[in-house]
């Protein structure tokens, strides 16, 4: 099922319960819970972020970098990851 189909299914279900405040509250809580899980998966602490930045700066200072001069080089590099 595509994201568009899933969105349509969610909105259809919401339209069915639209006049029932208690069901809407339950749906809102469930959606907030799911959204917070997704947010937590993608968030990084400030310390972790700056640790990565510091490591990258150190690698660059040591010459551990990769120069990419063309689209094909970029494509090859990304495909190697």
4 pLDDT higher than 80: yes
What is the reported pTM? Answer: 0.45
**47 closest CA partner among 36, 57, 55, 38:** 55
| Residue 81, pLDDT score | 87
Domain boundaries, the chain: 3-42, 46-80
d(CA 62, CA 56): 10
* Three-state secondary structure readout of 52-75: HHHHHHHHHHCCCCCCCCCHHHHH
| Residue 60, pLDDT score | 87
77 pLDDT higher than 90: no
**66 closest CA partner among 46, 80, 54, 52:** 80
- pLDDT tens for 17-75 read 998 999 999 999 999 998 888 776 767 788 888 999 999 989 988 988 888 899 999 99
């Amino acid at each position: 099922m595509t994201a568009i189909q899933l969105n349509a299914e969610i909105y259809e279900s919401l339209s069915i319960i639209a006049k029932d405040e208690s069901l809407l509250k339950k749906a809102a809580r469930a959606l907030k819970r799911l959204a917070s899980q997704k947010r937590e998966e993608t968030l990084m602490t400030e310390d972790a972020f700056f640790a990565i930045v510091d490591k990258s700066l150190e690698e660059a200072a040591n010459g551990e970098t990769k120069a990419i001069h063309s689209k094909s080089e970029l494509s090859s590099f990304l495909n190697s990851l």
